Amino acid sequence: MMLIQRVPTCPNIGIPGRKCGTIILTAEELNCCRDAVLMQFCANKLDKKDFFGKSDPFLVFYRSNEDGSFTICHKTEVVKNTLNPVWQAFKISVRALCNGDYDRTIKVEVYDWDRDGSHDFIGEFTTSYRELARGQSQFNVYEVVNPKKKGKKKKYTNSGTVTLLSFLVETEVSFLDYIKGGTQINFTVAIDFTASNGNPAQPTSLHYMNPYQLNAYGMALKAVGEIVQDYDSDKMFPALGFGAKLPPDGRISHEFALNGNPQNPYCDGIEGVMEAYYRSLKSVQLYGPTNFAPVINHVARYASSVKDGSQYFVLLIVTDGVISDMAQTKESIVNASKLPMSIIIVGVGPAEFDAMVELDGDDVRVSSRGKYAERDIVQFVPFRDYIDRSGNHILSMARLAKDVLAEIPEQFLSYMRARGIKPSPAPPPYTPPTHVLQTQI
């Protein structure tokens, strides 16, 4: 039995002296069912509702609640000017459809779409998940009945029929299913060493080498690094820098190892990354330009060699947001979107981060030379939103953690789904061998 709670009706307080309606909140405990169904329907001989045409039918699906009420859980698209529509297949979770209760009533209403929103009711029918699971058969052809018409007309039979064309059950897997199955998450850190960050010897610099407290980059690295390192199995991070002149010859590099070892740029945990970062600050000269593409391509080379789902790569870029190679970076992101990788950009400092928001691609998918990214792989987080006015304390590590990792699971799953990669079975839990103690009498 599911737990259902109805919160007392609350008046919607708006303009004094006017009734602004009421808000009713209903809560029901969610079932743990993780299945989803892909269904397709068609209809035949629906009632004609339009004066100058036929009908523009669509379906509305309702889940029944334990108190007898109904909640909309899906609407199909409108099929224009036909009495025999075929709707597109749609996917819906079993929790949304019936909350895992296979015998719970599902009500379906059929409407004729009107431009002004006053859609005409054609009729309705009821079914259940258990009935639908029979698939395409005589049991899943439903008479569409309009109760008002049925009450008025003796010879009324129905307002058409709706037929289930297909019913396919899929078990939805989670990010953790892949992790339990052995998929490795590999994090790479890349730090902006360009001159726009300011002279590290000056207190105004984002790279200021303060002997008493962490600078802006140090704070961001430590806070975000401690969040992401829990998802990396070996805690060994390749740590790169970009935009600096390197000793001894002053060569400009956009992809150098913070530990000074290009053959083995790995650092031991976030503490190792922090040590390598501060060591680099003392030896390199901040310069420019600010090019993101080389470090993105660096990780992409590794990601392109492992496409079987056994590994997934995440690049963490910490930057002040001033970017010089926007076109090349977009091209790198478009190319990387086909690979098992994601990019987290953490912006430090007070600058406007318009370019970083554009790379995030939440509103408009990143494109390059007319090609759009296959999927959204960039998450941008402005670090200043999570620290107090002094700039020395993080307001909420929990909120920072949530926002840094907010899109990684879905980005990860979008790659696995697109490639048809299923999680491997989780290994059985380890049970230590039992030793029989032998005693001498």
Check whether residue 45 and residue 125 sit in a common domain.
yes
Instruction: Answer with the one of 171, 198, 224 that is the final residue of a domain.
Output: 171
The answer as to whether 53 is a domain residue is yes
Instruction: Answer with the one of 138, 171, 204 that is the final residue of a domain.
Output: 171
The answer as to whether 18 is a domain residue is no
Q: How many domains does the chain have?
A: 2
Check whether residue 226 and residue 163 sit in a common domain.
no
Q: Is a pLDDT exceeding 60 seen at residue 436?
A: no
Contact between 227 and 262 (Cβ < 8 Å): no
Check whether residue 298 and residue 196 sit in a common domain.
yes
What is the Cβ-side half-sphere exposure of residue 254, based on CA atoms within 13 angstroms? 15
The answer as to whether 3 is a domain residue is no
Q: Compute the average pLDDT of residues 2-6.
A: 43
Q: How confident is the model at residue 349 (pLDDT cuts 50, 70, 90)?
A: confident
Q: What is the pLDDT of residues 168-215, one digit of tens each?
A: 998 888 898 998 899 999 999 999 999 999 999 999 999 999 888 888
Strand 57-64 and strand 70-75: pairing?
Answer: antiparallel
Check whether residue 206 and residue 166 sit in a common domain.
no
The answer as to whether 84 is a domain residue is yes
The answer as to whether 373 is a domain residue is yes
Distance CA 289, CA 247 (A): 17
Which 8-state DSSP code applies to residue 173?
P
Q: Identify the CATH number of the domain in which residue 353 sits.
A: 3.40.50.410
Q: How confident is the model at residue 3 (pLDDT cuts 50, 70, 90)?
A: very low
Q: Is a pLDDT exceeding 90 seen at residue 435?
A: no
Distance spanning both ends of the chain, measured CA to CA:
58
The answer as to whether 13 is a domain residue is no
Check whether residue 164 and residue 181 sit in a common domain.
no
Q: How confident is the model at residue 441 (pLDDT cuts 50, 70, 90)?
A: very low
More confident residue, 22 or 215: 215
- CA angle at 273 for the pair 270 and 275, rounded to the nearest 5°: 110
Check whether residue 199 and residue 295 sit in a common domain.
yes
The answer as to whether 344 is a domain residue is yes
Q: Identify the CATH number of the domain in which residue 100 sits.
A: 2.60.40.150
Check whether residue 92 and residue 221 sit in a common domain.
no
Check whether residue 190 and residue 163 sit in a common domain.
no
- Quick one: 427 exposed, middle or buried, by C-beta within 10 A (0-12, 13-18, 19+)? exposed
Check whether residue 156 and residue 186 sit in a common domain.
no
Q: Compute the average pLDDT of residues 23-47.
A: 81
Distance CA 345, CA 408 (A): 12
Check whether residue 102 and residue 205 sit in a common domain.
no
Check whether residue 246 and residue 378 sit in a common domain.
yes
The answer as to whether 351 is a domain residue is yes
Q: How confident is the model at residue 32 (pLDDT cuts 50, 70, 90)?
A: low
Check whether residue 290 and residue 193 sit in a common domain.
yes
Q: Compute the average pLDDT of residues 322-328.
A: 94
Could you tell me the residue range of the domain that residue 92 belongs to?
35-171
